[in-house]
Amino acid sequence: MSSQVVVRRVLDSDRIAIQDFLKEHWGDSRLVNSRTNHEGSELPGFIVRMDGFIVGLLTYHIDGDSCEMTSLNTTSGGRGIGSMMLRSLEEEAAQAGCKRIWALTTNDNLQGLRFYQKRGYLMKAIYPNSIAALREIKPSIPVYGDEGIMRLSEVEVEKILTN
């Protein structure tokens, strides 16, 4: 990657591209978990574009003093894009008065769980067999995920922000 990586806020002009990106990487632009349901292309977030394409996207939703990270994707792992977007979110959430950032991921997302833990996020809870109910809302959720692991449960990760 020879271009400089620039993380910026999502703009209204990004919305259609974000909807397409989420459909490609998540099967649908709706971001659902056992606690929330959002249209991902309408959420605030941070984006990285290169050569006209999205190579990193993080979306979030602030509710009171809590910030839910609703999606985090990079198309080019290991280059620091995810870390830069996560730092941008942490700064944004702290400025908004949030006390914590949380996210739900799936049991098969071993790379994501490793990523979050290396950046100070703790596994707060596991919601066994929660994915089956989510497939009723969003049938595009795959039965098998990373490394052929059956996608069954949600794992909540959390980072307490120190202001």
pLDDT in tens, 5-53: 889 999 999 999 999 999 999 889 999 998 999 999 999 999 999 888 9
Answer yes or no: pTM beyond 0.85.
yes
42-75 per-position pLDDT tens digit = 999 999 998 889 999 999 999 999 999 999 999 9
Contact 128, 118 (CB under 8 A): no
DSSP bridge pairs for 32:
37
Is 50 exceeded by the pLDDT of residue 1? Answer: no
Q: How far is CA 120 from CA 86, 87, 113, 123, 159, in A?
A: 11, 11, 11, 10, 6
E strands within the chain?
Answer: 8-9, 30-32, 37-39, 45-50, 53-63, 66-74, 100-106, 122-127, 154-160
With a pLDDT cut of 70, the percent of the chain lying above it is 98
Quickly tell me which residue has 């794992």 as its tokens: 155
Euclidean distance between CA atoms 47 and 85, whole angstroms: 8
Q: How much is the pLDDT for 52?
A: 83
Q: What is the pLDDT of residues 95-120, one digit of tens each?
A: 999 999 999 999 999 999 999 999 99
Which amino acid is residue 62, in one-letter code?
Answer: I
**Cα(100)–Cα(141) distance, rounded to whole angstroms?**
27
In this prediction, residue 79 carries a pLDDT of 85
- Residue scoring higher pLDDT (162 or 12): 12
Largest CA distance in the chain: 43
CATH architecture of 8-160: 3-Layer(aba) Sandwich (3.40)
3-class DSSP state of 45: strand
- Residue ranges of domains in the chain: 8-160
